[in-house]
Amino acid sequence: MRLRGKRAVVTGGTSGLGQAIATMFGDEGASFVSASRSCEVLETPPAADAPLVFDQVEACDEESVRAFMGRVNDRWGRLDILVTSAGMMFDGQVEHLAPAEMQAMFATNVMGTLLTVQAALPLMRAGRGGVIIIMSSAITGAATVGTGGYRATIAAVEAISETLAVEVASHGIRVNSLAAGFTTRGLSLPLIENADLWARYESYIALRRAAELREIASNAVFLASDDAKYVVGHVLRVDGGFRWP
């Protein structure tokens, strides 16, 4: 087990890709806290003996995030792995994108990432190191209609990740991003359910299919493990060969 004895936090970890990552961390021996805005409703119920705790946090609220990390500290006294997977997306051409929608995406995707990382770093320093995985999206590499607002937030998140990586490496903290391609569940589902539009997007993927969640989550395990101990400041794109023509 590559993560035996590790203590992990996964935000956005009660549904979709976040839950898949948290579940695979547990399979690899980690104990973890899976957190989201609504921890009461889980997309997939965990096994009865799963080494986990569910907690509630509003990622874009500084007080909520600090209180949450305080509970993590009370429980473990350290943090080995953080995955920031809380995110949201509104479709809309730039000309028609509502300011409230843009503000909501920046609050959750960018400020939520920033606040969570800031609150987690003291716990990692207390344990003399750790791993931070900031979830991103492979769509940042393709200027597609209706994704301008979301792509702007993901570009900001990747910039935070790459810069943070060089700022904290001397503390034994590795920071990387995992840019996920289209998946069979989660934020990609509305696109996949639009048969005509998905046929177009699917043709741009070398493997001609969306990823199963575990195919993305396994790469989070890699980045969190000692197998990636020399990987720092990298954006790992797991997209099945997605290329916009």
Element (H, E) at 55: strand 52-56
Q: Which two tokens stand for residue 54?
A: 């569910």
The answer to whether residue 18 scores a pLDDT higher than 50 is yes
Say which residue the tokens 């509305």 belong to: 190
The pLDDT assigned to 201 comes to: 86
What's the confidence (pLDDT) of residue 89?
A: 82
What pLDDT score does 48 carry?
A: 44
User: For residue 41, what pLDDT is reported?
Assistant: 46
User: How far apart, in whole angstroms, are the C-alpha atoms of residue 206 and residue 164?
Assistant: 32
CA–CA distance, 89 with 108 (Å, rounded to integer): 10
Q: What is the mean pLDDT of residues 114-121?
A: 97
β-partners of residue 180 are 137, 238
- pLDDT computed for residue 167 by the predictor: 98
What's the predicted TM-score (pTM) here? 0.91
Q: For every residue of 21-48, which 3-state class applies, written as one string? A: HHHHHHHCCCEEEEEECCCCCCCCCCCC
C-alpha to C-alpha distance for 166 and 164, rounded to whole angstroms: 6
Domains assigned to the chain = 7-238 (3.40.50.720)
Question: What is the C-alpha separation between 187 and 157, in angstroms, rounded?
Answer: 17
Tell me what pLDDT residue 20 has: 93
| Average pLDDT of every residue of the chain | 89
Distance separating alpha carbons of residues 4 and 228, to the nearest angstrom: 15
pLDDT tens by residue, 219-241: 999 999 999 999 999 999 999 99
Given pLDDT bands bounded at 50, 70 and 90, which one contains residue 16?
Answer: confident
